[in-house]
Every structure is written in C-alpha cells, then in structure tokens.
Amino acid sequence: MEETYLLKHPGVKKKILAGGRGTLPHFPPGTKVLVFHFQTLLDDFERTVIDDSRQVGQPAEIFVGKMFKLEVWETLLMSMRIGEVAEFWCDDIHTGLYPIVSKGMRLIAEGKDPLEGQRHMCGMGNLFHYHSTGFSDLDELMKNPQPLIFIMELLQVGDPMSYHRESWMMEKDEKLTTVPLLHMQGNALVRQRQFREAASKYKEAVLLLKTVQSREMPGDVDYISLGRMIVPLQLNYCQCLLELEEYYEVVEVTTELLHKHKDCVKAYYKRAKAHAAVWNEKEARQDFNMVAQLDITLASLVRKELKLFIAVSMTLFFKYGQIFK
C-alpha cells in the first residue's frame, strides 16, 4: 500500500505492511490497553534501528487517554486494526520526547527504576537539567531532533479492569494499595525459600514507591514518609540477595540506603555480611563496628561475626596463602 497522510495529523505518514483483522477498535478515553511490538528507526539511508521491543523479549503497552508522554503513539495505534503491521513516518514535531520515552523503556527492560535520576519536574525539565539520558544514541537525538520511523504491530486491545497493568499505568492510590500486597507475597515466597522470586516482589514494591515519591516535593511529609516505607522493602530485598550470594549488589543497594538513612543498623549489618563474603576485610570490620556502636545490644552478635570472619580468613590463608606469594 502507498504511503498516506493520517487525516487531521500533519507530519505523520502511514504505510500498511500487513493488514489486520476486523474493524477499527473503539477507544473511549481511559478504557483500553494497547499491547504492541515496535521498532524505531532513523530516517537515514541505512534506516538505523534505535529500539526494538522484540529484542527486549516483551511487547510494549500503553493505556489510552492516560497522557502517555509520546502522544503521537496513541494516534498511530488507534489507526490500526488488531494484527495489523504498519510503518509510520513522523516529523520531528512529534518525536521530541522520544529520548525520554526510550530511556524509560530501556531502564524497565534492565529491571531498573524508569525514573532513576529524575527530579521533581516535567520530563523536558529533567532533560534540560541533566543534559544526558545515559545513552549516547538518545543524547544525539536530543541534540538534533529529527523525524523518526516507527514500525508497529498491534497485538491486543484489552479491558484494563481484567489486565495486569505495568506500574507506570497505575494511579497513585493504586500503587500504594499494591505495595503491601507485594510485600506479603515476598514474605510468603521467603518462607518457601524462593528467594529470587521474593526479591522480584520486593523490588517491584520499591519501584512503585519510588515512582510515587518522585511526584512529591523533597522534604515534604509525604516524601519523607514514602522514603521510610521503602527502607524495610530494600532490606528484605538485600536479605534475599545475601541468600542468593549476590553480594556486590547488596553492597550497592545498602550503600544507597545508608546515604539517605545514616543510622540504619540493619543496612550496616547486611553490608558487613556482604563485604565479609567477598573478603573486603577493612570494610566488613568498619560496618560490623558501626552496628555495635548504633545498637549496643548487638555487640555480642558482632563479636561472633568478627570471630567467625577471622577464623575463616585464617583457614584460607593457611590453605592458599603460599599460592599467592
């Protein structure tokens, strides 16, 4: 089919690559979830691929009428039938916010917080404040806005009430209601010694709270309260990581936590255990000593941990010391 301009949408051209089935779905605002695969390409000679949801391994989803940052995507998808594959050329008036959207999706695919590094301001404000998305190809798009090509396949149009929604689709109250459920699910999985699955639940709960917190003003009561809610979830997450022997991530997470909560005894203890496990002797001793200083009732526990650490270190030294001379 030849390229055609979408009616009432200047700067957008559509070419159907594979016809869909049925009629165009009806989209009352806020009532449908769109599930789709997409490719994003530069409009250059090589048609350079920037993003591809199939390489990530899961389709993308947006909620109609929920003010998705890249508004043109709603327009494109609402012009499609289920099963249809279409190529859209979009002028740079429609693609200016693509670097923000792409950054968020890439972070989600890596299991990270999509709002990582953002301050309490609009998306474009964050771009201007930080000058970088952390991805060189997206930074180039920020410096030089340009037309982009989107190849999309509409897979499903769902009822949001019966659909398991991603966290970014949820309203604030829905996020806050979901957190204790995830916490309980994580605890139940820990009792079954399913530590990886439990860690996933705790991490999801933390991301939900961080998303809500990012919309509050730092220093406000709600911001501080949400920060306190995050602490036990992060500690539970770290305990799962200790069980999974993922010690370096424990150090990373607890260090971030202690930057905000300098007197968190449990964070020092878990970081000490992680340092001890990877033979960071100096760091382990410092953290164990901080535990004893902050909570004198744990002094005997610290002595036992240090005694065990020294005994294991000496055993390994006598067993392997000659090898490294």
Digit-coded pLDDT (tens) for 126-155: 444 445 778 889 988 888 889 999 999 999
d(C-alpha 227, C-alpha 210), whole Å: 8
Within this chain, do residues 192 and 282 fall inside the same structural domain, yes or no? yes
Within this chain, do residues 252 and 277 fall inside the same structural domain, yes or no? yes
Q: Taking residues 267-287, report their average pLDDT.
A: 89
What local confidence, expressed as pLDDT, does residue 27 receive? 66
d(C-alpha 76, C-alpha 57), whole Å: 22
Within this chain, do residues 273 and 194 fall inside the same structural domain, yes or no? yes
Q: Taking residues 52-75, report their average pLDDT.
A: 79
User: Which of 15-29, 39-53, 111-125, 178-192 holds the top average pLDDT?
Assistant: 39-53
Residue 162 pLDDT grade (very low, low, confident, very high; cuts 50, 70, 90): very low
Closest CA to 115 of 154, 167, 152: 167
Within this chain, do residues 183 and 235 fall inside the same structural domain, yes or no? yes
- Residue 105 to residues 38, 53, 61, 77, 114: CA-CA distances in angstroms? 12, 9, 10, 18, 7
Within this chain, do residues 266 and 291 fall inside the same structural domain, yes or no? yes
State the greatest distance between any 2 C-alpha atoms of the chain, in Å, as a whole number.
Answer: 79
What local confidence, expressed as pLDDT, does residue 242 receive? 93
Within this chain, do residues 9 and 153 fall inside the same structural domain, yes or no? yes
CATH number for the domain harbouring residue 103: 3.10.50.40
pTM over 0.85: no
Which tokens belong to 131?
């000058």
d(C-alpha 113, C-alpha 240), whole Å: 19
Q: 288 or 128, which is more confident?
A: 288
| Residue span of the structural domain in which 19 resides | 5-119+130-158
Closest CA to 299 of 276, 269, 255, 275: 269
Q: In this structure, is the dihedral angle defined by the CA atoms of residues 220, 224, 229 and 234, taken in order, positive or negative?
A: positive
Alpha helix segments (H runs only) across 218-264: 221-243, 247-260
Q: Taking residues 30-37, report their average pLDDT.
A: 75
Within this chain, do residues 106 and 149 fall inside the same structural domain, yes or no? yes
Which tokens belong to 43?
């409009």
What local confidence, expressed as pLDDT, does residue 312 receive? 60
**Domains: count for the chain:** 2
Residue 212 lies in a domain: yes
Q: Taking residues 158-179, report their average pLDDT.
A: 62
Whether residue 122 is predicted with pLDDT greater than 70 in this model: the reply is no
d(C-alpha 100, C-alpha 150), whole Å: 16
Whether residue 250 is predicted with pLDDT greater than 90 in this model: the reply is yes
Whether residue 282 is predicted with pLDDT greater than 80 in this model: the reply is yes
Q: What's the count of helices (H) and strands (E) in the chain, helices before strands?
A: 13, 7
Q: 216 or 28, which is more confident?
A: 216
Closest CA to 88 of 196, 182, 186, 14: 14
